[in-house]
Amino acid sequence: MVRNPLPTSSRDSELSLTDVQWVMGHAHLTTTEIYLTPTRDEVIEGVLAHHARQSRVQEAPPPQPAPGYDPQSLSVLFGRPS
């Protein structure tokens, strides 16, 4: 079985993923993605970008309990410091 070299060479030609999907005749984009293995540098770049985004996200304080609930009891139940 010979695989089409288009998906891997499409990185060099700047074709969009949907163009590659159309040329290869795939019904679903996920089928085309199988052929596009990321390079080591792309994986590292993605991981670093993810961690940079996560470091900018601040953790929000927990919401106040609804009226009628004892905050101390909820702290014990959910393991939150008082």
> Shortest CA distance to 10 belongs to which of 40, 28, 41, 32?
32
What is the per-residue pLDDT for 41?
92
Question: Which of 62, 13, 52, 64 lies closest to 36, judged by CA?
Answer: 13
What DSSP character marks residue 60? P
Spatial separation of the C-alpha atoms in residues 43 and 40, rounded to whole Å: 5
pLDDT of residue 11: 58
Tokens for 59, please give them.
């953790």
Six token digits for residue 38: 């990321």
In this predicted model, what pLDDT tens digit does every residue of 37-77 receive, in sequence order? 788 998 999 999 999 888 887 777 777 778 888 878 877 88
